[in-house]
Amino acid sequence: MIVPRGDNANGARAKCTSPVSVPVSAPLVRLYSDYMHTEYGALDSDYVFVNLWSAPVGRPLRYQAVVKLVGRLRARTGIEFSAHMLRHSRATELIRGGVAIEIVSSC
């Protein structure tokens, strides 16, 4: 769920004005949860892009840190993508699935 907040610790803002559900399979959520628990113990964070290496641990990554993370992932996988491309891919999927463009553009 993407929840717009005015008080994000990293100063980021969501592009939508109301909560938006992002469909993720239950097995993927379990894998992510198990990974986070195994690797980082009792870390309590509701952010996906989480600072794991320096204070404040568990807080959201800043924009530049996400850009660097995507760069490292691109280098390791050879897959050319950007975080912004993920947003547009989701929008395209919704439109192809029959969601009205007015609805998609509001988020």
Mean predicted lDDT score pLDDT of the chain: 81
Q: Which residues pair with 2 in a beta bridge?
A: 20
Residue 98, Cβ neighbours under 10 Å: how many?
6
pLDDT, residue 107, reads 64
Q: Which amino acid is present at 4?
A: P
94 pLDDT more than 70 = yes
Q: Which amino acid is present at 17?
A: T
For residues 47 and 85, the model is more confident at 85
pLDDT band at 34; cut points 50, 70, 90 = confident
Contact assessment for residue 85 and residue 67, using Cβ atoms and an 8 Å cutoff: no
Task: Give per-residue pLDDT as tens, 58-86.
Answer: 888 888 888 898 999 999 999 998 888 87
Is the overall model pTM greater than 0.75, yes or no?
Answer: no
Please state the domain extents for the chain: 26-105
3-state secondary structure of 90: helix
Q: How far apart are CA 23 and CA 36, in angstroms?
A: 20
The tokens of 102 are what? 């007015």
Q: How far apart are CA 25 and CA 8, in angstroms?
A: 26
15 pLDDT more than 70 = no
**Alpha carbon distances (Å) from 11 to 6, 59, 106:** 8, 11, 21
